[in-house]
Amino acid sequence: MGQRFTMRVPTDVDLIEEAVDLVARHCVASGLSPRRARFNLRVALCEALANAIIYGNALDPAKSVAVEVLVTDAELTVNVTDEGSGFDPSALVDPTEPSQLDESGGRGLFLIRKLVDQVSFNDRGNAICMVLRRA
């Protein structure tokens, strides 16, 4: 079954660090390795929240971001959902391609994909699911 934790984060980039701290503390208390929580989880969740707040919710203070965390014996699953119209993740170009090195887009998602074991999106493109395996 596992431990479930949910929260809503207002559309305010100044609240990202506090939200990430809260989720990381909860995950460590639920048994996630402090090493994975300190780096992999924190960076991936920070990037996902920043993308949701800046691009998904377009910094609209009337909107918020939902965060749902499930910690099981095998893995940690984090879902981040914004209230925006979504995007097509397959349309993003690889930011490591030589032609993209001076461009600013796609780096956050690139980092997330390198730090977690599995990444998926809902059909609308306004929710990311990140999985960290315990092993």
Number of structural domains (the chain) is 1
**Among 86, 88, 95, 91, residue whose Cα is nearest residue 126:** 86
Q: Report whether 78 contacts 36 (CB < 8 A).
A: no
pLDDT of residue 11: 98
Distance CA 40, CA 113 (A): 10
| CA-to-CA separations, 88 to 26, 84, 107, 128, in angstroms, rounded | 31, 13, 15, 12
- pTM of the full structure: 0.89
Distance CA 9, CA 78 (A): 14
pLDDT of residue 30: 82
pLDDT of residue 15: 98
Domain that holds residue 26: 3-133
pLDDT of residue 113: 92
Q: Report whether 79 contacts 127 (CB < 8 A).
A: yes
pLDDT of residue 106: 60
Residue 14 DSSP one-character state: G
122 — phi, psi (to 5°)?
A: -75, 170
Single-letter residue type at 76: L
pLDDT of residue 102: 60
CATH number of the domain at 77, please: 3.30.565.10
As averages over each run of 10 residues, the pLDDT of the chain (135 residues) reads 92 98 90 82 96 96 97 93 90 65 69 94 96 84
CA atoms within 13 A on the CB side of 5: 18
Going 12 to 15 to 19 to 20, the CA torsion angle's sign is positive
